[in-house]
Amino acid sequence: MDFLESNCYYHIYNRGINSTNLFIQEKNYAFFLSKYALYLYDYVDTYAYCLLKNHFHLLIRVKEETTIRSLTENRSFQNEGLHSIEHIISKQFAKLFSSYTQSFNKIYNRTGSLFETPFKRKQINSDAYLTRTIIYIHQNPQKHGFVTDFKDYTHSSYHSFLSTQQTKLARNEVLQWFGSEKWFIENHFSFQNENQDFVVEL
């Protein structure tokens, strides 16, 4: 398992246990994002996301150690163990999954785990990999057949980058990464066929 190190980019993804649907009604998607904002936005920068019925994808960068240190009650950091950056970020994800599961189970009269554990993560180790991951995440609904055109899917961050509405996404940084809004759009189309082979194992 890769460690979630400060100042590093990660593709985070997970699915429902035994392929259970994580999202049943429209309100579930917004509720998950609200929980994500509560538990993770202070600890990570978010570059892309996509929520599908039985799984999700996130592209994040773990914030600097000094920022994370200021958010925690225990300021005694170590390189490994209970007080490591890895443990703290993983603990925030665990809080997200637990909180969402409790509410989900109550609403839909179910019991037990909802998410597979541990959640999966891949470190982004090149500029090309970062670009392809952003595009892959946005194109995922089309890849899985939820829509015929990924632009029509409403539960990804794609349209947030083309909007002027306030967002907690790292919108400016992502658009600067692609060069402009125009090249952000162009790259999503130019990579469309290539990303058919860019697959992660859920």
Q: pLDDT tens digits for 24-64? A: 999 999 999 999 999 999 999 999 999 999 999 999 999 99
By 3-state DSSP, what share of the chain in percent is helix, strand and coil, each rounded to 5? 50, 15, 40
Fold for the domain defined by 9-197? Alpha-Beta Plaits (3.30.70)
What was the pLDDT predicted at 194? 58
Whether the pLDDT of residue 163 is over 70: the answer is: yes
In a 3-state reduction of DSSP, which class is residue 59? strand
Measured distance CA(58)–CA(39) in Å, rounded: 14
pLDDT average, residue stretch 125-136: 94
pLDDT band at 202, cuts 50/70/90?
low
Q: Which residues contact 101 (CB under 8 A, 6 or more apart)?
A: 113, 114, 115
* pLDDT bracket for residue 82 (50, 70, 90): low
pLDDT at residue 72 in the model: 76
**What is the mean predicted confidence (pLDDT) over 181-185?**
94
Does the pLDDT value for residue 74 go beyond 60?
no
Q: Which helix (H) or strand (E) holds 61?
A: strand 55-62
pLDDT band at residue 199 using 50, 70 and 90 as cut-offs:
low
Q: Specify the residue for token string 């649907």.
A: 21
Share of the chain above pLDDT 70, in %: 86
CA distances from 65 to 9, 68, 89, 105, 149 (A): 14, 5, 11, 35, 39
Q: What is the pLDDT of residues 88-124, one digit of tens each?
A: 899 999 999 999 999 999 999 999 999 999 999 999 9
